[in-house]
Structure 1
Amino acid sequence: MYVSPAPLAADLRSADDRDKPSRTDTLTAQLCDLIGGPVGDHAVIGRVRFWTPMRVLMAFAVVFLALSWFGKAGCIQQRPEGPGVMGLDWDNGRQYIAMCYSDTVPLYGAEHLNEGAFPYKKQWTDFAGDGRPQVRYMEYPVLSGLFQYGAMGIAKAWHVSRLPGALEVVIYFNVVAFLLAMAWLVTVWASAQLAGRRVWDAALLALSPLVLVHAFTNFDALATAFAAGGLLAWARRRPVLAGILLGLGGAAKLYPLLLLGPILILCLRTERLEEDSLWGRMRPLHAAGAAIGSAAVTWMAVNAPIAVLYPKGWWEFFRLNTERHADPDSFYNVITSFTGWTGFDGKLSSGETPTILNLVSLLLFVAACAGIAWIGLRAARRPRVAQLVFLVVAAFLLTNKVWSPQYSMWLVPLAVLALPQRRILLAWMTIDALVWVPRMFYYLGTDRKGIPEQWFTGTVVLRDIAVIALCVLVIRQIYRPEEDPVRRDGVDDPAGGVLEHAPDPALPWLPPLLRPRRAAATVPEPEFAQPVSTQ
């Protein structure tokens, strides 16, 4: 007989429904041996006053963001360029050898932010590869451009103050890094909320190798924060707010708008023509329409003033993306690298539009989206929102002619929510992060002891294979929901919002080719809406 060494507490409540990775995940179980082993069978869960899961995740994220800043710090080192004159130490390809390159630093001068000019209004002349002059403007979407302008204003105010100083571009980088770190913390927070009882899945988001490499490579953390916030608002049955946040994300980087497609497909699948006493209060298609409508209005509200006042500056982002050739990271360039293929349009000079490449890229993405929509409608059980969203964003990156290295951060929160398999995700993130090494030495050039292009494009192939493998695993779990760890213990879809625990009808009003293969087992409808866990 066992006797408690002290009187039991009056409140013995325990969050026993929370996932315990030290017992359900082999990787975590092995790592837990370093700190005393897995959680006990009779442990009381969720009673720690300070170190709650969310605070632990925030601490993890802050540590990795700090390490990421140190990784970029080599590119903001200063050196004297003359009597009383300081400059950045980027001689002899230092930014590539130290692998600290960040777009933030060169763009401060290239986008003429150092002049204090307002983006989209300021124009300048560059010379193309063939020597032709070309009028240029800010090349980023409106919200990203205004974000850079705001950071520039803070940097200039700091520079003229009596605060500890440095080169203005160094201060600018640090301001941007701080703001992007806050945005990534929002991404981690929102993703942890979306994970529901599997809150510890977000630990891989906070500890991702891709954060170490790309948190401050560009401005993408701003878009991931809006995207994660939009999904969280949808999960909490606030479709208008979800649309507003996704619209703001689309004004920073266009990819958050892609999240609306899977939401529409899943709402279409869930819609029933007859009224329902519970779900008639917020029919799925009404919610989807509210989200899409508010996203469109928000995107236009942000873009319209710039488009009206500075139409050429506003159009610059779209013009450059239309005229841009295949990115070094795209599979189109990979084929060229290994075969010598000249591309769909042949050899083009700078400024010439790759018309056929643009069309092929668009058609491939549309075909991929059609396939994903078919999966979403035909699967025996309705897929989770995160699963379809991940597939769409992955398809966009794989078929697009541009895959800048920091774009991989778009996938991190979506992959963690769609496929919470820690070993698999860690393997993909490590492969993707390590692509940065050959990329930097390829950009260094063979004349400065860099590496040939094929060494870089070979690692791109490995990354693409890893992403395709993730897509295959997600599709497998869509067709075999019993293998989905999120859906254990009666859980339906923590990010589903109005879709969570909604009926999954046979949809007789759809063409037979688009109906579910069989009527899914009806999930009991809850008496009340089930909010996402805030633990």
Structure 2
Amino acid sequence: MPSPTEQAASTESAPASLEPGRRVLPSRTEPFVAAASRPLGGPIGEHAVVGRHWFWSPQRVGLLLATLALMLCWFGKASCIQQYTDSDGQNQLDWRAGRPYVAMCYSDIVPLYTAERLNLPDTFPYRTSWVDNAGTPNEQVRYMEYPVLTGLFQWVDARLAQGWTAISNAGWLPGALPVAIYFNITAFWLSVAWLVTVWAVGRTANRRPWDAALVAISPLVLVHVFTNFDSLATAFAATGLLAWSRRKPVLAGVLLGLGAAAKLYPLLFLGPLLVLCVRAGKLRTWISTAGATAVIWLAVNLPIALTFNTGWREFFRLNTQRGMDPDSLYNVVSYFTGWTGFDGPPDPGQTPTWLNVVSGGLFLLCCAGIAYLGLTAPRRPRLGQLCFLVVAAFLLTAKVWSPQYSLWLVPLAVLAIPRWRPLLAWMLVDALVWVPRMFYYLGVDHKGLPEDWFLGFVVVRDLAVVALCVQVIREIYRPSLDLVRLAGDDDPAGGVLDGTRDVVVLKQPRTIAPATP
């Protein structure tokens, strides 16, 4: 007579098509991929030789697909670095007639080149300042508005662009407007960062390397990888998870610390790691990772914070004083109900205190719920699942969801819920928000769209993310539905957590009573 544990395990065993212990092939396990493979001959055969080609491994195929997607993204943004000759015979950036919005090629990289004073020869981020709205009551001294690693990245790219311009003026290299050269240099390094992201996800997924193709060909990559600088952070975040999966907690902390110095969101991973390490009795390992993260973040930030403190604090000041962006659910409610917000109509420079408290409080409540989920689930959740839930909760409750932030979710979603059809559906919906966004920014007076069209798409995008969260929670409470565990794995990204017994569980899972013989 089988024990309750054996019976529970039998309900979670993998079907024959998943072949426990071997590489998972999406053309066999994913109906969407199987249908898409028919023009190429259909799903791979049962007796096909897999994994023996001298060059084309799943990793290299994924990197090739990512390269093609990055090329398409560059062509999509290239309209915004076109130039024209003005009446004085000078070459100018051609942003006439709302080109960035009509062509939907807008990228923060282009205007920030001059807005952050990167085009000037003797500037340095966090030291150089300028005055916005000079001579008005809204006059404000400004500095570089990005975290340290991202700010220094922009500065280095600007210096490289100026060097390229000097050499091109001597006739050794092709020339263009400095801002176009700066954009192309930045796009090159951002492409490298996204390729690293794809590579790291493929390695972390272990026996599901083809899932990295979802990261490579995501519609969000086609639209947003060059919208801002976020692929720097995704590369550090993804390699940090890879290092953790390889049981290198200190290296994972180093990479997460570097990621947090580029964008703060990799710090959110420490929460899921803490919950899972408490449950598995691996708190010392978490302390090693968290300590390394703090040390590296301080090592990057302290030199700037101590030398140019006012400039270093600019990032935190702007995020504190920022109101609800058009992308946030708070603005959706405000627009459709006429509600003026928690703080009422904002004055220039006013800090939205109650909005900050409410958005922060809602996020902390979500984190508490995720922690409870992690400590009460019948089987310890996978790291990718909790990381996805935390980052998704942060975006949904935040007062700002800049369009490129959706890139943060792409690698985590693939690790958390490797189901191709729902993931591609969400990514497509999220990418399509770019269209009404651009025409909303164009303005109704210039044949753009009214705000309600844009906000309608925002709601659909948020509902799609919520639906993915519900699916992840469902699979946490019912591990027999989790495709990763159906294939015979516990947690490929779990590192020291993978296959470890639970030590702390707040609520014992129900077991099935043994059958009477």
- For normalisation by structure 2, the TM-score amounts to 0.93
1:504–1:519: 8 Å Cα contact kept in structure 2?
no
The aligned amino acid for 2:200 is A
Structure 2 residue aligned with 1:150: 156
Aligned ranges for residues 67-146 of structure 1 at < 5 Å?
67-116=72-121, 117-127=123-133, 131-146=137-152
Q: Equivalents in 1 of 2:415, 2:135: separation in Å?
A: 44
The alpha carbon displacement at 1:79 in A equals: 0.3
2:458 aligned to which of 460, 480, 483: 460
Deviation of residue 504 (structure 1)? 2.0
Cα distance in 1 for partners of 2:511, 2:180 equals 57
Is 2:35 the partner of 1:30?
yes
**Matching residue within 406, 411, 414 for 1:413:** 411
Q: Aligned letter for 1:79?
A: Y
Q: CA deviation at 1:349?
A: 1.9
Consecutive unaligned residues in structure 2, runs of 5 or more: 1-18, 513-517
Task: State how far apart, in whole Å, the 2-side matches of 1:179 and 1:519 are.
Answer: 51
What is the rounded CA distance, in whole Å, between the counterparts of 2:242 and 2:234 in structure 1? Answer: 12
> Aligned residue for 1:267?
277
Residue matched to 2:224: 214
Corresponding residue for 2:515? none
Q: Which residue of 2 aligns with 1:346?
A: 344
- CA distance 1:136–1:266, shift in 2 (3 Å): same
Matched, 1:475 2:480: no
Equivalent of residue 487 in structure 1, options 480, 485, 488: 485
Please state if 1:41 is matched with 2:51: no
Partner in structure 2 of residue 247 of structure 1:
257
* 2:509 is the counterpart of 1:518: yes
Which AA in structure 1 matches 2:113? Y
Q: Decide whether aligned partners of structure 1 residues 128 and 324 sit closer, same or farther in structure 2, where only a CA change above 3 A counts.
A: farther
Equivalent residue, structure 2, for 1:20: 25
How many angstroms apart in 2 are the aligned matches of 1:506 and 1:137? 47
**Residues 31-83 of structure 1: CA distance to partner in whole angstroms, max 9, x if unpaired?**
11111111111112101111111110010000000000000000000100234
Instruction: Describe how 1:46-57 pairs up with structure 2 within 5 A.
Output: 46-57=51-62
SS of the residue corresponding to residue 325 of structure 1 reads coil
> Which structure 1 residue ranges, 5 or more long, are not aligned?
1-13, 272-283, 508-514, 522-535
- For 1:236-385, list aligned pairs within 5 A: 236-271=246-281, 284-385=282-383
**CA positional deviation for 1:517:** 2.9
Provide the C-alpha distance between the structure 2 equivalents of 1:185 and 1:128, rounded to a whole number of angstroms: 43
CA distance in 2, matches of 1:220, 1:303: 18
> Which range is displaced more, 227-236 or 75-84?
75-84
What TM-score, normalized by structure 1, do the two folds share? 0.90
Deviations 1:458-517 (A, max 9, x none): 10000000000000000000000010000124210000000001112454xxxxxxx133
Q: Percent identity?
A: 62
C-alpha distance after superposition, 1:205-257 (max 9, x if no partner): 10000000001000000000000010000000110010010011001000001
Matched residue, 1:533:
none
Quick one: distance in 1 between partners of 2:381 and 2:189?
35
What is the CA–CA distance in structure 1 between the aligned matches of 2:20 and 2:212, rounded to whole Å?
18
Specify the alignment match of 1:531 in structure 2: none
Distance in 2 (CA, whole Å) between partners of 1:206 and 1:128 is 45
Residues 520 and 269 (structure 1 numbering): CA distance in 2 closer, same or farther, change over 3 Å? farther
Q: Which residue of 1 aligns with 2:16?
A: none
Partners in 2 of 1:35 and 1:430 — Cα distance? 24
Give the direction of change, closer, same or farther, for the CA distance of 1:423–1:489 in structure 2 (3 Å limit).
Answer: closer
One-letter amino acid matched to 2:205 = A
CA shift for structure 1 position 17: 0.4
Letter in 2 for 1:156: Q
Distance 2:479 2:396 in 1: 25
Aligned-residue offset at 1:350: 2.2
> Could you report, residue by residue, the CA deviation over 1:355-401 in whole angstroms, capped at 9, with x for unpaired residues?
00000000000000000000000001000000000000000000000
Distance 1:213 1:95 in 2: 13
**1:189 pairs with 178, 182, 199, which one?**
199
| Higher-RCO chain (CA-CA 8 Å, sequence separation at least 6) | 2
Matched, 1:393 2:425: no
Give the distance between the partners of 2:27 and 2:442, measured in 1 at CA. 43
The CA distance in 2 between the partners of 1:520 and 1:163, in whole Å, is 71
Amino acid at match of 2:291: G
Residue-by-residue CA offset, 1:267-311 (whole Å, 9 max, x unaligned): 00011xxxxxxxxxxxx1111000000000110110000000000
Task: State the one-letter code of the partner of 2:270.
Answer: L
Q: Is the 8 A contact 2:20 2:488 kept in 1?
A: no
